[in-house]
Amino acid sequence: MTELAARCVHAGEMDDPQGSPHSPLYSSTTFKFPSTQAILDVVEGRTLAPLYTRYGLNPTILALEEKLAALENAEAAWAFCSGMAAEAALFVSHGRKGVICIGDAYGGTLELLKDQLPLLGIPGHFLLGHELDRLPQLLQQGAGLVFFETPTNPALEIFDIAAIAELAHRHGALVAVDNTFASPVNQQPLALGADFAVHSCTKYLGGHSDLTAGAIMASKELLAPIWGWRKNLGQMLAPETAALLARSIRTLPIRVQQQNANAQAVAEALSQHPRVSRVLYPGLDSFPGKALAARQMSGFGGMLSFEVAEGGVAASAVADRLRLFALAPSLGGVESLITQPCTTTHHGLSAEERARRGISDGMLRLSIGLEDPKDLIADLHQALAT
Ligand code: PLP
């Protein structure tokens, strides 16, 4: 097994007869067969071969999936048209006895678990970090799937993947970690005992804010029941997007390593600023989850949050004054972005609920890109100057 960087470049690349160094793009929706027997061999599962793109049986998508599996050292991976499509397929296929969602998950995930899945008879249970002592009780009641992000959005809370997996497995439940924030460069949930790694590939894996995709990495056995849902709910990504995503993954480690370094520099600079009351970044000594993060992550990531001491209005003004950072949701791209959670991702929650989750109105979340950190720090300083 090669190191991650080599896998990002080489895993899943086809041996192209024309000599292309990477897998060519097959945009075809269907594929020809030499005989009825050959088509039956694919339809009846004896051979894996290109057949129909919506099924994922397209050479460009199959090549991408080999690369996605290699990222998490998984036996296999399935690609989806978005991170939400991947999560929805996971919940409907493995969460029917109930999904326990730990911590502050992405807003769309919480909505799906709270508003849509109960209509299908799939119960969602929600535990914040300080309520983890209730996990054994919920597991005893029979919920079949534990799902969480680590680090979380936007407070960067860190959950112990190995400990949660051990507890869940003792109760016969499966564990899925949304590894979007960390990326496979910084964290390998399957190696720590999780059953599924889930990604919004729209973020670090795509890395350029120009594609929407999702993925689930797991064993072939656990992926098998998800296949029919993906096929018949029509959740496949376009081959053009698959080729673009594979292109981006080839540079994933070098991008993420630089984003880690840039974020560390920005976090340290913000910690020194008199108008900043708190910086949440797993690489800072002041961060409560630093020891656990250092144990289960190999890098601290490109995401950080900080609080402007004077509160929400002052924080909005800081965000509005930034020139290099774009005021936009999403994360993981080459360009640095800023959001104010109380006006975007967590706008739908009451002020009390935000407080319960440790999200103040003065909190700003940064997704650190590939600009020189000196320029990013200078931009933050000028925005904080008044
Ligand atoms: N998971 C996390 C952590 C996210 O931040 C997001 C989107 O922001 C999603 C999942 C959903 O991904 P997508 O927008 O690709 O559907």
CATH number where 366 lies: 3.90.1150.10
Q: Rounded to an integer, what is the distance from CA 99 to the centroid of its chain?
A: 18
Instruction: Locate the ligand 1 atom nearest the alpha carbon of residue 153 and give its number.
Output: 3
Same domain? For 136 and 10 the reply is: yes
DSSP 360: -
- CB–CB of 120/88 below 8 Å? no
* pLDDT at res. 108: 92
Q: Which residues contact 55 (CB under 8 A, 6 or more apart)?
A: 231, 236
Q: Are residues 86 and 130 in the same domain?
A: yes
154 shares a domain with 44:
yes
pLDDT at 350: 86
For position 35, what pLDDT does the model report? 97
Q: What is the dihedral of CA 181, 295, 134, 125, to 10 degrees?
A: 20
Q: Which of 202, 205, 200 has its CA nearest to residue 216?
A: 200
Domain boundary residue, one of 222, 249, 276 = 249
117 and 202 belong to one structural domain: yes
- Rounded to whole angstroms, the Cα distance separating 175 from 194 reads 5
Give residue 386's pLDDT: 73
The conformation of residue 23, written as its DSSP 8-state character, comes to P
Q: How far, in Å, CA of 372 to CA of 374, rounded?
A: 5
Residues of the chain with pLDDT under 50: none
| Catalytic residue (choose from 7, 67, 178, 275) | 178
pLDDT recorded at residue 2:
87
Q: Is 114 one of the catalytic residues?
A: no
Which protein residue's CA is at the shortest distance from atom 8 of ligand 1? 330
Whether residues 205 and 244 share a domain: the answer is: yes
Whether 203 sits among the annotated catalytic residues: the reply is yes
One domain, residues 200 and 308? no
Three-state secondary-structure class, residue 329: coil
- Determine what percent of the chain falls in helix, strand and coil, rounding each to the nearest 5: 45, 15, 45
pLDDT (0 to 100) of residue 336: 98
Q: Relative to the CA of 149, which ligand 1 atom is closest?
A: 3
Q: So what's the pLDDT on residue 183?
A: 98
- pLDDT of amino acid 353: 86
User: Do 76 and 200 belong to one domain?
Assistant: yes
Ligand 1 nearest-atom number relative to CA 105: 3
DSSP string of 62-79, one letter each residue: HHHHHHHHHHTT-SEEEE
The pLDDT of residue 30 is 98
Domain final position from 195, 220, 249: 249
Domain of residue 318, residue span: 252-385
Q: Quote the ligand 1 centre to 106 CA distance (angstroms).
A: 6
Read off the pLDDT of residues 154-182 as tens digits, 9 standing for 90 and up: 999 999 999 999 999 999 999 999 999 99
Give yes or no: residues 145 and 286 share one domain. Answer: no
User: Which atom of ligand 1 is closest in space to residue 202's alpha carbon?
Assistant: 15
Assess whether 183 and 258 both reside in one domain: no
pLDDT for 385 equals: 96
The residue nearest atom 2 of ligand 1, judged by CA position, is 106
Same domain, 257 and 238: no
Q: Which of 249, 266, 284 is the last residue of a domain?
A: 249
Q: What DSSP assignment string belongs to 75-103?
A: SEEEEESSHHHHHHHHHHHH-TT-EEEES
| pLDDT value, residue 348 | 83
Report the percent of the chain where pLDDT is more than 90.
94
Ligand 1 center from residue 105 Cα (angstroms): 9
Q: Residues 260, 228: one domain? A: no
As for ligand 1, residues whose beta carbon falls within 6 Å of it are 82-84, 106, 108, 149, 153, 178, 180-181, 200, 202, 212, 214, 330
Rg value, the chain, Cα: 21
